[in-house]
Amino acid sequence: MKSHQRKPPGRRAAQLRVALGERAYPIEIGMGCWAGLGEAVARCVPGRRAALVTAHRVGRLYGSAVVHSLRAAGFRVDVFSVSDGDIAKNLGQVERLCRALVAAGSDRETSIVALGGGVVGDLAGFVAATYLRGVSFVQVPTTLLAMVDASVGGKVGVNLPEGKNLLGAFHQPRLVWIDLATLSSLPLRQRRAGFAEIAKAAAIWDAAFFQRLESDVEGLLALDPAVLLPAVRRACEIKAEVVRRDEREAGLRMLLNFGHTLGHAVEKLMRYRKVLHGEAVAMGMAYAVHRSEALGCAPLGTAERLIALLQRAGLPSTLPDFPRQAYLAAIRADKKRRASHVHFVVLRRIGRAQTLPLTPAQIFPPLGRRKSAGGVRRSGRGAHR
């Protein structure tokens, strides 16, 4: 994977490459760079027909600019709007989108362009992986979380009532196009949720990056370009390197699930309402780092340091007050489960992680044992290399 700065940084500021042989693709990062999107897509996909899939609000903000850029590059563009939020990631939405594509005459040379956050990218990517046994797609993320995590790596999927992302595929995009200017329209709560995934990448992989986040978290959330661009670039570099080494989650890529075992459980138990994915991941990371210390994997003080960073970013660090049996049932439905064990990601220290095969009861022991071993408390419901 190569990374380099481009001058001047006002438009396309950095380019990375996810090195996957014939499935390799670029990640373009810039500021106010919609005009170049169409030509970039044209270089990466067959045909000149595009199906733009976007959420209603995002479409109102940026849909016209994206359609104009694609048409200027010679694309015929059909636009499809979907609901936003994890509750919309379901098979009903998949069927509706696929039937709309059929009605529009979309063929195998139609490329699906996902414009929006992680939900839109996952949903549109899953449709791209399955429509006509697979068509090209492009990720155009507009949230911080999608930019640094969901848009990179080719994991696409939808939820079932029994759990999150239980239906999915590995289907790499042809291009990831990141325009940091879209973050100016993002509420602070959404920026904070995206920061959770940046903190995750640093915590599992790069201690020096984590230290920079400790110095720059407020500037990043305020969208200071001098802080934002390097942080997004580094988070994408980490994700790209992990994916290059383990595309289909045979081992190393599981580290990217740090905080997600309990995070997904929280989302499921809250029925994908009133909690953002990044907020749930922050709760899950706080729990996981406490368990890392309790299990003797991480030195004392690791949890205090990570949780302090999450709290400075305004993220929650305690679990909602659901019964233990409800958490155990949600963990048992985790897609990382193998037989009776779940590959639970723990920290060895800041910047290094590993997976442990644990039973749900070992991951989430009774409250007394969690407290006596330094486990994380629960809050009210609202709130390896």
b/e burial code for range 336-348 (CB count within 10 A of at least 16 → b): bbeeeebbbbbbb
Three-state secondary structure call for residue 80: strand
Amino acid at 38: G
- What is the CATH topology of the domain spanning 201-372? Dehydroquinate synthase-like, alpha domain (1.20.1090)
Which helix (H) or strand (E) segment holds residue 235: the answer is helix 225-245
pLDDT at 337: 74
pLDDT at 369: 64
pLDDT tens digits for range 190-223:
999 999 999 999 999 999 999 999 999 999 999 9
Beta-sheet pairing, 155-160 with 163-170:
antiparallel
The answer to whether residue 75 scores a pLDDT higher than 80 is yes
What residue spans define the domains of the chain? Answer: 3-186, 201-372
323 CB-near residues (< 8 Å, 6+ apart): none
Q: Which residues are known to be catalytic?
A: 133, 155, 197, 239, 249, 253, 257, 260, 264, 277
Which helix (H) or strand (E) segment holds residue 4: the answer is strand 3-5
Mean pLDDT of 143-164: 94
pLDDT tens digits for range 137-146:
999 999 999 9
Mean pLDDT of 358-369: 88
* Spatial separation of the C-alpha atoms in residues 78 and 64, rounded to whole Å: 12
Phi first, then psi: give them for residue 18, nearest 5 degrees. Answer: -85, 110
The answer to whether residue 3 scores a pLDDT higher than 60 is no
Tokens of 130: 């399955």
Tokens of 107: 């063929």
Please give the radius of gyration of the chain, using alpha carbons only, rounded to the nearest integer.
20
Class of domain 3-186 (CATH, top level) = alpha beta
pLDDT at 334: 80
Whether residue 320 contacts residue 380, with contact meaning beta carbons closer than 8 Å, is answered with yes
Q: What percent of the chain has pLDDT over 90?
A: 85
